Amino acid sequence: MPATILIVEDEPAIQELLTVNLQHAGYAVRSAGDSREAQAQIQSVLPDLILLDWMLPDQPGIRLAQQLRAAPRTRDIPLIMLTARGTEQDKVDGLESGADDYLTKPFSPRELLARIKSLLRRRAPQLTPEPIQAGTLTLDPNARQVVGAGQALPMGPTEFRLLHFLMTHAQRVYSRSQLLDQVWGDHVFVEERTVDVHIRRLRKALSPAALEHTIQTVRGAGYRFSTTHTE
């Protein structure tokens, strides 16, 4: 699935220009003209990244950034501040409000796309298209293909997304609820035990290459990806 980017910008011409360029680059795009509409969009579907204009009609974007960072559900969303304010103090204020990056208008679409790609690679690597390799296991997001020990390993779309997320966060342990939020999306309401079902299916899909051990259960905590055998 492509990354979803929320544009919070009150100028229709700029909003349209951003939308066209982002869609052309393969992203799914949602938009809002003020902070109230942005909050409604976020409540409906949690975006993977937010482009936030500083000057919004109902409140400054910097205030919205602070609100997003203060809320557990939105505090980790990558956020790029877009503004015509370019002084050093403005940049400091924007970054201290919680923005991950700061882009001064006017900017080129090419630079914006490069900033987005860099930020997603750093903050949400499961959303980038680069192939991932761990030992004899390779996952190619663009080809939607998994190869283990030299053979193709067919698997369902949910198992693919689950493996992709775990491989891009190797060695880290995730609870069932965290995996539901990250892989299924926080707007999808399913039982936590659903994760166990898909973990079993994923291990079965990896078994022809004897790689089922890479999906490890951490008792009382959750699951992780590791190429190291455990007892």
Omega before 60 cis (within 30°)? no
pLDDT confidence of residue 191: 82
Contact 61, 36 (CB under 8 A): no
Nearest in space to 179 (alpha carbons), one of 214, 223, 215: 223
pLDDT-above-70 percentage for the chain: 96
pTM score over 0.75: no
- How confident is the prediction for the chain on average, in pLDDT? 89
Could you read off the pLDDT of 50-69 as tens digits, one per residue?
A: 999 988 999 999 999 999 99
For the chain, domains (ranges, CATH) are: 4-127 (3.40.50.2300), 132-225 (1.10.10.10)
Total Cβ atoms within 10 A of residue 8 = 27
Q: Residue 229 pLDDT > 90, yes or no?
A: no
Q: Residue 127 pLDDT > 80, yes or no?
A: no
Could you read off the pLDDT of 192-223 as tens digits, one per residue?
A: 889 999 999 999 999 999 999 999 999 999 99
pLDDT confidence of residue 205: 96
Q: State the Cα–Cα distance between residues 49 and 93, nearest whole angstrom.
A: 20
Q: State the Cα–Cα distance between residues 162 and 195, nearest whole angstrom.
A: 9
Q: Residue 187 pLDDT > 70, yes or no?
A: no
